A and B are shown apart, each in its own frame.
Chain A
Amino acid sequence: MVEDVEELFERLRRRVMREVDRVLSEFEALRLDWTPDGRLSPLYTVYEFPDKYVVLVDLAAADVDSVEVKVADDRLVIEARLEREISLGDLYGTTAMRGVTLRYYRQEIPLPPDADVEGMSYRVRPDKIVEIVIPRRRG
């Protein structure tokens, strides 16, 4: 009986998480993905496997040596400088955003409660896609 309740809770938790993700991702699409001070939000994807989470982050044009992956509270924080400063106007070939210069990537990703951050590892692939693996706690 106890197990059933736990299972029910787990199912509910997942449903709520999914719903929250959906709403957040809708917000995400509306939000600007850069700030006037030069911060860029990278594209990322979170995959869930039975035993781990795998997060892929696209850090195109980043300085690979500056990539930092850390955990703050219940969030994963990814940061990296760009190889060189890029003017938003140049990037899109428009005069409108000439004043904005992109300098670094920063992204915070909320971690699920069963993420075992002690066991976290990451590697930066040659194409500058960062793969972060976080084991899941059992039970």
Chain B
Amino acid sequence: MSSVPVYEEELDGLLLMEYEEFELKHPSFLVLGLPDTGLVGVISANHLVETLGMKEVAGIDVMTLMPPVAVISKGAVRPPLRIYVKDNLMALTAEAPVPPASVHALAKMIVDYAMKRGVDYIVSIVGVASPARINIEKPRVYWIASNEKARKLMEGVEAEGFLNGYLVGPYALILKNAIRARVPNLVLLADAYIEFPDPEAAAEVLNVLSKITGVQVDTKKLLEQAEMIRLRLRGLMKQTKQTMAEMGGPSPLMYA
């Protein structure tokens, strides 16, 4: 990872940097792991990066991030949103929730970037707040497709279409932008604890993702490490809960 980006672009306080040249194989998938319900996206994307040994090639910095934080990792400053690549997969993971003020710009930046890089499909991973999650042993996976091409991905895959409900936050805007830009966007949702990191939900989504992309992702290690992942992600979960509340997302029914 070089410290001087080979490419940069800025949009409303967001800075996208590529650290090196890279090529994506096709059909290519951009998998999004943004902090949301149960951190299902973050856990899924992190697991992809680790098990597939994906390479960090780019990142997005939120210059208006509050509190102002510089994440130091392996001795270098790294942005809170990181982009990794391997063969036909690109994964975006996040170390901090997206501030509500940056959600619009980020959604635009991600869809524009996907088009620029010739990404064939954007796959958003998110938890669906399930009040009965505690009684569900195997979280179910649902999907939303932005268009026919995205819908075709789900043919022969065991998952339910998500017919009624709502998405709040960055994924909602990414979906709308993708529809407008005619970029196929598939949203994969899994039953999840609203406010606890949910590696089991992530494992179910990854099983579906394996079928769609043809890239086998072993989730055994993810389930083995589930408790440590939950422990490690407590802080991010708390921040995410706060951010979700600010965006008016599903909130705890505390003394409602």
Which chain A residues have a beta carbon within 8 Å of chain B's beta carbons? 14, 17-18, 21, 25-26, 28-29, 33, 40, 42-43, 45-48, 56, 58, 60-61, 86, 91-92, 112, 125, 127-129, 131
CB–CB B134/A131 < 8 A: yes
Inter-subunit contact A48/B196 (CB<8 Å) = no
Residues A61 and B227 in contact in the complex (CB < 8 Å), given A18-B255, A43-B196, A47-B252: yes
Category for how many chain B residues contact A: 20 to 34
A33-B235 in contact given A25-B242, A61-B227 (Cβ < 8 Å): yes
Q: Is the interface of B mostly helix, strand, loop or mixed?
A: helix
27 contacts between A and B (CB under 8 A): A21-B254, A26-B242, A29-B238, A29-B239, A33-B234, A33-B235, A33-B238, A43-B237, A43-B238, A45-B195, A47-B131, A47-B253, A48-B255, A48-B256, A56-B134, A58-B197, A58-B234, A60-B231, A61-B230, A86-B231, A91-B231, A92-B232, A125-B134, A127-B200, A127-B226, A128-B227, A129-B193
The chain B residue with its CB closest to the CB of A61 is B227
Interface of A is mostly: mixed
In the assembled complex, the CB of A24 is this many whole angstroms from the nearest CB of chain B, namely: 10
A29 with B242: CB separation less than 8 A = yes
Residues of B participating in the A interface, judged by any CB pair closer than 8 Å: 131, 134, 193-197, 200, 226-228, 230-232, 234-235, 237-239, 242, 245, 252-256
Determine whether the beta carbon of A61 is less than 8 Å from that of B228.
Answer: yes
Name the B residues within 8 Å of A43 (CB-CB). Answer: 195-196, 234, 237-238
A45 near B227: Cβ-Cβ < 8 Å: no
Q: A43-B237, A43-B238 are in contact. Are A60 and B134 (CB under 8 A)?
A: no
Partner of A56, one of B196, B237, B239, B245: B196
The distance in angstroms between the C-alpha atoms of A48 and B255, with both chains bound, is 6
Contact residues in A for B238 (Cβ distance below 8 Å): 28-29, 33, 43
Contact check, B235 vs A60: say whether CB atoms are below 8 A apart.
no
Closest B residue to A53 using CB positions = B255
Cα distance A131–B196 in the bound complex, in angstroms: 13
A47–B194 Cα distance when bound, in Å, is 12
